[in-house]
Amino acid sequence: MDSQYENELRTLQMRFIGKIIAVFTHEIKNYIAIINESTGLIGDMMKLGKSPENELPVYLDIIHSIEDYIEKTTGHFRYLNRFAHRMDAPLSSFHINESLEELIALINRFANQKRISFKQGYDNDMPPVYGNPSLLQLIIFTFVEKNIMELEQDSTIIMQTAVADKSVLITIIPNGKRVEGSSAPIPTELLDIIIKELGGNISQDRGKNTVIMLPLTSSTA
Amino acid sequence: MAHTKVLLVDDEKEFASALAERLQLRNYDVKSASNALEALGIVHSFLPDVVLLDLKIPGMDGIETLKAIKKFDSTIEVIMLTGHGDVRSVEDGMKSGAFEYIMKPVDIGELTLKINRASQKKQTS
C-alpha cells in the first residue's frame, strides 16, 4: 500500500474509531441517566414515607430496572473492550459472526437515531477465519454507514453471513426506500485495496446488496 | 394554583418514565412522548408550559422539533436535554429559542429550578 493510501486509511480508521466512541459514550450516558433517575425515584419514595413493605412490587420493579441497565452497561463495555483488542495484532484468528455482532451492538444507537434497525441472518456453523478483524469491521462499517445515511426512516439493514467454496461471505442488504437524491460517498478504491490485502473482494449484488468475500485460511496456511 | 404542565420528550422510555414520576412527586403535571411526532401531537392537545426535549430523538432532529414547538406557541419554554457534550447542538438550540439546557444524567434539584424559572417566564410573557 503506498503512502497516499496509508494516509487515507489512517484517516478513515480515526473517523471510524471516533464514531464508535461517540456512539458508545452517548449510549452509556443514557444508561447512567436511567440508573440515576431510578435510584433517585427510590429515594424520593422513601422520603415521602412510601414504605417498602406496602409498595414492594413498585420498589422491586425499579430495582430490576436498575439491575437490567447495569447489565446492559457491562455488556456494552465488554463489546468496546473486545473491539479495542481486535487492533492488538495485525492478523489473528477470529469469528466473523462475533465481530459483526459486536460492531452492530456498538453502532445500533446511531442507526436507531434514524429509526433504522438491523436484522441478523448469520450462519451458525461459520468456522473461524484468519485475517484482520479490525480492518474487516472498518469495511463493513463504511458500507453500513452509507446505508444508514441513504435509507429512509423505518428501513432495515439485513446482515447475513454464509460459507461458500472455501470462503466466507458477508452480505449487507438494505431493505427500504432510499431518501430521494441521497448519496453518501465512500472511498471505494481504498476499500478495494484493503480487502485485496485481506485476500478477499467486494461486489455488488442486484445493484444494492454489498457482498464481502474473505478466504477461509488458517494461521498455518 | 394550577400545576406547571411539563412535556418530557425522550426516546429512552425507562428514563422518561422514572423522571416523569419524580416530577409528579414534586407536583408537576407531566406527560411524556418518545418521538417528535408524538411530542408535537401532545403539544397541541396538552398545551404544556415547559417542554423538556432530548436533542437526539428519533424521527425528527431535536432542533427541528424545538422550532416546530416555538412556531406553534412561542411562549412555550423549551429546556433541552443532552446526553453528551454536543456544544454545537446546544448553541443551535439556544439560537432557535430554547430557554435553557441540562446535561444527562440530570440533577433533579437543578432541573426543577430551571423548570420553575421557565414556567415563571411563560407566565409573564
CA distance to partner chain A, nearest, from residue B80 (Å): 15
Q: What is the pLDDT of residue A32?
A: 95
> Whole-angstrom Cα distance, residue B110 to residue B125?
23
pLDDT digits (tens, 9 = 90+) for A18-54: 999 999 998 999 999 999 999 999 999 999 887 777 8
B97 touches chain A (CB under 8 A): no
Closest CA to B73 of B94, B47, B54: B47
pLDDT digits (tens, 9 = 90+) for A48-73: 887 777 889 999 999 999 999 999 99
pLDDT band at A221 (very low <50, low <70, confident <90, very high): very low
B37 touches chain A (CB under 8 A): no
Q: Structurally, how many domains does chain A consist of?
A: 1
CB contact under 8 A, A22 and B84: yes
CB contact under 8 A, B108 and A45: no
Q: How far apart, in Å, are the Cα atoms of B81 and each of A37, A76, A133, B36? A: 14, 23, 37, 14
How many other CB atoms are there within 10 angstroms of residue A216's CB atom? 18
Q: What is the pLDDT of residue A55?
A: 83
Instruction: Give the residue on A whose Cα is nearest the Cα of B104.
Output: A33
pLDDT band at A107 (very low <50, low <70, confident <90, very high): very high
How many other CB atoms are there within 10 angstroms of residue B44's CB atom? 10
Chain A hits for B19, Cβ within 8 Å: 37
**Which domain does A20 fall in, by range?**
1-221
Instruction: Give the residue on B whose Cα is nearest the Cα of A33.
Output: B105
CA distance to partner chain A, nearest, from residue B49 (Å): 22
B28 touches chain A (CB under 8 A): no
pLDDT digits (tens, 9 = 90+) for B72-120: 999 999 999 987 667 788 888 899 999 999 998 999 999 999 999 999 9
CATH number at residue A167: 3.30.565.10
CB contact under 8 A, B59 and A112: no
Q: Is the peptide bond before A185 cis (omega within 30 degrees of 0)?
A: no
> Whole-angstrom Cα distance, residue A36 to residue A44?
12
Biggest CA–CA distance in chain B, Å, is 38
Mean pLDDT check: name the lowest of A18-32, A94-108, A198-212. Answer: A198-212
CA distance to partner chain B, nearest, from residue A72 (Å): 13
B108 touches chain A (CB under 8 A): yes
> Whole-angstrom Cα distance, residue B7 to residue B29?
8
Averaged confidence pLDDT in chain A: 92
- The answer, yes or no, to whether residue A131 has pLDDT greater than 60, is yes
- The answer, yes or no, to whether ipTM is higher than 0.90 is no
Q: What is the pLDDT of residue B86?
A: 72
Residue of B8, B11, B14, B107 best to disrupt the A interface, most CBs of A under 10 A = B14
What is the pTM (predicted TM-score) of this model?
Answer: 0.86
Chain A hits for B83, Cβ within 8 Å: 26, 29-30, 33
Domains (range + CATH), chain B = 5-124 (3.40.50.2300)
Cell of A76: 456494552
Residues 6+ apart with CB under 8 A from B28: B3, B4, B5, B6, B115
